[in-house]
A and B are shown apart, each in its own frame.
Chain A
Amino acid sequence: MAIYSTNEFKSGLKVMLDNDPCAIIENEFVKPGKGQAFNRVKIRNLKTGRVIERTFKSGDSLESADVVDVEMQYLYNDGEFRHFMTPESFEQYQCDAKAVGDASKWLKDQDMCTVTLWNDAPLSVTPTNFVELTIVETDPGVRGDTSGGGGKPATLDTGAVVRVPLFVQQGEMIKVDTRTGEYISRVKE
């Protein structure tokens, strides 16, 4: 296992901290006059998603975390686990609800997504930035409305609820930004 010293800490580096895999967000070198240098580091715990600040003595080190992002295809949900597969090797992984987290509301069978593996076990699932989903339920819109203003809730085929403009109708397919949960556009078939 590789060891990283504070001066190698940079955004995105995956390290082990307090027995959890973490990702470095920010690393600031602080040196008081002629005194001991420190690194003030912002770190995200990849298990809990929580961001913490931690100070290290410059030159201290952390073990690397065996964390990799793998593109996978979402296969199906068996009720307890969701199943994913790497398209090249056909290797399958099952993720519990905790690992899937909020991604669950954007996952449609056959869609591609990113599964983060820690020691080859799924840690988290990130959907693609944009997904195309079908509206299964929404109130009929008011005639004449074009765009902007107001909007209405719409339930999608994955169970997610997003706000859509009034002119968008049930049965239509729409494009959604998964990072913000916002409606982007209608998808013309």
Chain B
Amino acid sequence: MSNAWQPTCSIESLRIRAKLLHKIRSYFSARDVLEVETPLLSHSCGTDPYLDFFTTTYKCGNQSNKLFLQTSPEFAMKRLLCAGSGSIYQICKAFRKGESGRFHNPEFTLLEWYRVGYNLDHLMADVEDLLVFLSEESLSLSTTEKYSYREVFLNLTGLDPFVFSLDQYSAFVIEHNQAEALTICGYDHSLWLDFIFSHYVQPSLGLSGFCLVYSYPATQSSLARINVENPTIVDRVEVFFKGVELGNGYYELQDAQEQSQRFDKEIYIRQETGRPLVVKDDRLISALHQGLPDCSGIAIGLDRLLMILTESASIDDVLSFSIQRA
């Protein structure tokens, strides 16, 4: 008889997940951060050039509308912030089409939160507090490491991520037997950074504790604010543990016009690369016009955090039913 009806994770893993959710709620409750719910189905979605989404059709009377399953709750949560919610958090499902692997399931659980009045430094301290609080019972961790993107990139590759030198980048990948990078990345600086970072930087991050990388190149942002002192960087942070990316956060962009332009630019890239068309979220733009409070926010992949806490090799080991058995 087929065992496809069975969960992919152990019953013990379900208990660890329940406990994790409980601890997250106690952490935010103690800090007066409000738990919210926003729709999973939306009339529009993110414009990220590299994210693909699921869609469905909603029929009501004679009307038929296309709806998107959210790739993250970011836009809806920002609309709440603009409406005056104050600091908020949410634990919800997000959906990304075509993402499947040892660390990816097309449907996954996110913890996303926004802190009003926080800049990136405040947020990074908050992230560290929460992650240590959630994992200190299960893991012995060394101190959380914090590096700027440039610093960690230079240290691990000898290359400067802010200066695009095709010669140096090419020489580096050829030396590492990955000449195919030349074809894949061409003259696209941002693509080169994605390639080199994911192959030669990320695997070494957070080997014995959490690692935060901040100050990303301005080309690597979609909703982060440009740094006030240095316009070549954005106030974005990523969290890593044992070479796995756990989360991505920003000091949030408030400028409605600039946000709108960035959406247009990303929609253009999507068209150029032949990706499915997206609908720009005008409701978010309207909300930003109303005014987003000064805030920072981040999303953490809870399934991956559970993988770390349970030392699991595959995301399937922490999901009740992975996509193959859903």
Contact = CB atoms under 8 A, between A and B. Distances in A.
B104 A35 contact: no
A31 B248 contact: no
A141 B190 CA distance: 70
A27 B102 CA distance: 10
Interface of B: 48, 50-51, 98-104, 177-178, 180-181, 184, 190-191, 193-195, 197-199, 202, 220, 222, 238, 245, 248
B190 to A, nearest CB: 7
Contacts of A30: 101, 198-199
A32 B100 contact: no
B50 A28 contact: no
A36 B101 contact: no
Contacts of B195: 36, 38, 55
B184 A57 contact: yes
Interface of A: 7, 27-38, 40, 53-59
Q: Give the dominant DSSP class at B's interface.
A: mixed
7 contacts: A29-B101, A30-B101, A33-B220, A34-B48, A35-B198, A38-B198, A55-B181
Given A35-B193, A54-B180, A55-B180, 12 more contacts: A7-B98, A7-B100, A29-B99, A29-B101, A30-B199, A31-B245, A32-B245, A34-B48, A34-B51, A34-B248, A40-B199, A59-B98
Contacts, number: 67
B261 to A, nearest CB: 17
A32 B201 CA distance: 11
Contact of B100 (A29, A34, A40, A54): A29
A189 B248 CA distance: 69
A108 B184 CA distance: 48
- Give the 9 A-B CB pairs with smallest separation, nearest first: A29-B101, A35-B194, A32-B198, A36-B194, A32-B194, A57-B184, A30-B198, A33-B248, A36-B50
A3 to B, nearest CB: 16
B292 to A, nearest CB: 19
A44 B2 CA distance: 31
B181 A37 contact: no
Nearest to B198: A32
Contacts of A34: 48, 50-51, 220, 222, 248
A57 B104 CA distance: 16
B206 to A, nearest CB: 14
B190 A35 contact: yes
A119 to B, nearest CB: 25
Given A55-B180, A55-B181, A57-B184, A35 B50 contact: yes
Contacts of A7: 98, 100
A17 to B, nearest CB: 10
Given A32-B198, A54-B180, A37 B102 contact: no
Contacts of A38: 184, 194-195, 198-199
Contacts of A40: 199
B313 to A, nearest CB: 12
Contact of A33 (B184, B191, B199, B238): B238
A38 B99 CA distance: 11
